[in-house]
A and B are shown apart, each in its own frame.
Chain A
Amino acid sequence: MIEEIRSKAAGLLEDLDGIVALKETEMGTGPHLFQKGDDTSLLVMEPRYPVSEITSKLQKQFQEARIGIVARGCDARALVEMAKRNQIDPERLFLIGICCPQELADTCHCAEPFPRTQEWPQAEMIGEPAEPGDPNPLVIQYRDKGLEERWEFWQSQFTKCIKCYGCRDICPVCFCDACSLENPLWVEPGLLVPDFPMYHLIKAMHMTTRCVACRHCESACPSGIPLTVLYDLVRTDVEDLIGYIAGAEITALPPLSLTLSDAPIESDLVY
């Protein structure tokens, strides 16, 4: 399949100004802007790395450029969320959607291991969509536990945090210039372990309507904190209460900034 992606990219480069994808070099693998004449045989798909923020920066810097992006299902969902928040211009983006192999879908517990190409004005899909992976068993396990057990679990997890900001930096939908997590009013500088509940719950709250379940934060965490257990539970709640699924539809705006007529919620306080 990688050969198919490479030849597709090489073909599209004739028309597009560049394609954002991962490139394998002697120094390691990282995101790269392939341009006309570049050797696309260095284009790789592994390891997973988010490319939405780099694409957003490129689009902002080069206002006229038409950029392609090699995106997995999670990347495409992140791009949808970025587009809603005016960080991506869908009209200037060509989405080369890649379907993840079944093994990856299973290890990621991915509910949608393929990009929704129909959401994008210019998109193509490569490969056959895999079956959704099983939900994370940890999520079900901790959803059914009592407050005390949850407290014990998360205290033991959050005390491992070394405040490297890795979860935020890798997050494909975190783009704010001024981050609450760097504001000394909310997260006290110089404290290690970062104080509960500030750092982790602010992050969780900001993720509520954004998290696209890419699980990059969890794999980036050097302490192995199972952050997506918390984020998955909240994603389910947003879906149940507000009926919003992050990364699904490009036309559905973020519900927390909409009025009740546009994004209703089931609550006793609404009448």
Chain B
Amino acid sequence: MKKPFEPKVVAFLCNWCSYAGADNAGISRLQSPANILPIRVMCSGRVSAEMILRAFRAGADGVMVLGCHIGDCHYINANHRTVKRIPLLQKILGYTGINPERLILDWVSSAEAPKFARVTADFVDKIISLGPIKDELKVTHPATPVSLPVEEVVS
């Protein structure tokens, strides 16, 4: 029997809302997919295009950026930058032939544990339907000292 496709999804979670929301989902015993590799960042505004592209290159099939709702940002208005940056990166990905749906931005507050479970499950389902990211994107040479250990964490 063919093994079903298990995508690797990197989720950049903001320290103040989304990471706590993910934590809350765990405490509440809510099912969320194990394909998610969470990376805690201090703010969703910290997530640069470089970081997202690097996650794709290291073999992530999808990347999520989750942050505080607009107006609730711990740094007042730092996520105003994120909400402008991510759509532009999605456009660039689309123009070069990578499905822009592989990158999403959403807001999850620390109280929204059910939303976290839903958003992650929906995204993983979406990535499963899209299939693995093109092999060209993946790391083809082993000598990458700082590559993400996606392989070990997920499988």
Q: Which single member of A186, A238, A260, A270 contacts B54 (CB below 8 Å)?
A: A186
B77 to A260, Cβ gap below 8 A?
A: yes
Give CA–CA (A259, B45) in the complex, Å.
11
Find chain B residues with CB under 8 A from A234 CB.
Answer: 88, 91-92, 95
A147 and B83 contact, CB distance less than 8 A: no
Interface residue count on the B side (C-beta < 8 Å): 34
Q: Which of A154, A202, A257, A270 contacts B49 (CB 8 A)?
A: A202
Within 8 A of B (CB), among A112-166: 142, 147-155
Q: Contacts A151-B98, A259-B80, A267-B83 known; A186 to B50 CB distance under 8 Å?
A: yes
Instruction: Tell me the smallest distance from the CB of A118 to a CB of chain B, in Å.
Output: 28
Is there contact, CB below 8 Å, between A271 and B137? Answer: no
- Please give the distance in Å from B20's CB to the nearest CB on chain A: 19
Stretch in A48-56, A103-111, A188-196 with 4+ CB within 8 Å of B: A188-196
Q: From DSSP, what is the main secondary structure of chain A's interface residues?
A: helix
Size of the chain A interface, CB-CB below 8 angstroms: 47
The reply to whether B92 and A204 contact each other, CB–CB distance below 8 Å, is: yes
Chain B nearest CB, measured from A44 CB (Å)? 37
The answer on a CB contact under 8 Å between B50 and A151 is: no
Assess whether A196 is in contact with B136, with CB atoms less than 8 Å apart.
yes
Surface stretch bound by A, among B9-17, B29-37, B99-107, B121-129:
B99-107
- Tell me if B2 is interfacial: C-beta within 8 Å of chain A: no
- Binary CB contact string for chain A from 219 to 260 against chain B (1 if under 8 A, 0 otherwise): 000000000001001100110011000000000000111111
Determine if A271 and B57 form an interchain contact, defined as CB atoms under 8 angstroms apart.
no
The reply on B56 being an interface residue by CB < 8 A is yes
Once the chains are docked, how many angstroms separate the CA of A154 from the CA of B56? Answer: 17
Are A198 and B54 also in contact (CB < 8 A) when A155-B136, A269-B107 are? yes
A151 touches B96 (CB 8 A): yes
User: Given A230-B92, A234-B91, A257–B144 Cβ distance below 8 Å?
Assistant: no
Does A197 sit within 8 A of B, measured CB to CB? yes
Q: Is A1 interfacial (CB 8 A cutoff)? A: no
Q: Which residues of A contact B (CB under 8 A)?
A: 142, 147-155, 180, 183-186, 188, 191, 195-198, 200-202, 204-206, 208, 230, 233-234, 237-238, 241-242, 255-260, 263, 265, 267, 269-271
